[in-house]
A = this chain, B = another copy of it.
Amino acid sequence: MKEEQFRFIHYLKSKGLKLTSARKTVLTAFLRSEGHLSAEDLLAAAKKIDPGLGQATVFRTLKLLADAGLAQDACQDEGPRRYEHVYKHAHHDHLLCIGCGKLIEFCHPEIEKAQTEIFKEFGFQATGHRLELRGLCADCAGKSGKAND
């Protein structure tokens, strides 16, 4: 069994919650997913496994996944809230091209280190962070940016 599954089950038990087939379905669909997905995406994916699943259950389960530390808000500027794996994936930050929407994931040790310092400086106990850099990628910058619109 995958570690994420185990962790989710353990989380449910610790909260006195039940491991239902609907939750298993949503978990499976979520773990199969790649990148950033919205609740709607997850519902669609989960319905491929169990067509009878309701969207309310997906929203409810997504909250549990976030609470269990498996899912994290990926925080897009537009449209619905999106989530991504947080448990297995090593931590990464996002670099977004505002021209073409290209999304690059990166990890920069110095930034991580500096963040730790900041938590210390303000007496905080860290639980997470999110960093998104925005700009124009080489392609889009080359195309003269925003001449017409």
Chain A interface (Cβ within 8 Å of chain B)?
Answer: 15, 73, 75, 77, 95, 97-98, 104, 106, 108, 110-111, 114-115, 117-119, 122-138, 141, 145, 149
Contacts and interface: CB of A to CB of B under 8 A. Distances in A.
| A interface: dominant SS | mixed
Contact of A75 (B77, B108, B128): B77
Contacts of A124: 95, 97, 133, 135-138, 141
B129 A131 contact: yes
Nearest to A138: B123
A114 B114 contact: yes
A131 to B, nearest CB: 5
A26 to B, nearest CB: 20
A125 B106 contact: no
A115 B122 contact: no
A106 B127 contact: no
B131 A136 contact: no
B111 A125 contact: no
A126 B115 contact: no
Contact of A137 (B104, B114, B122, B131): B122
B123 A137 contact: yes
Contact of A111 (B77, B97, B114, B132): B114
B134 A129 contact: yes
A134 to B, nearest CB: 5
